[in-house]
Amino acid sequence: MANSNLTAAKTAKKDEFYTQWADIEREMNAYLEYDPDVFRDKVVLLPCDDPEWSNFAKFFALRFEEFGLKKLISTSYAPASNPAIDED
């Protein structure tokens, strides 16, 4: 069962399994090595399952000033959190 970890993460709705901090840091560092100002004055849009738990959202929020971001937008879709939606 080579994909048992993925199956377990999917079952537990543990999406951050796919976006681990070390992977995000490694990828973003590659961009920064190529161009240290790659994010300067940019708007970063992060479509997340849950922005409060997203490692991408945390990563960019922690480095907002360091990267010189203009704006950070994190979106999600959570129908259960909207009281106007009838769940019957």
- Give ∠ CA 28-34-39 in degrees, rounded to 5: 55
Can you say whether the dihedral through the CA atoms of 63, 26, 41, 55 is positive or negative? negative
Kindly give the confidence (pLDDT) of every residue in the chain, 88 residues in length, as a single tens digit, with 9 standing for 90 and above.
567 766 776 666 655 456 789 999 999 999 999 999 999 999 999 988 777 788 889 999 999 999 999 999 988 876 665 555 555 5
Can you say whether the dihedral through the CA atoms of 60, 44, 77, 3 is positive or negative? negative
Write down the pLDDT at residue 26: 95
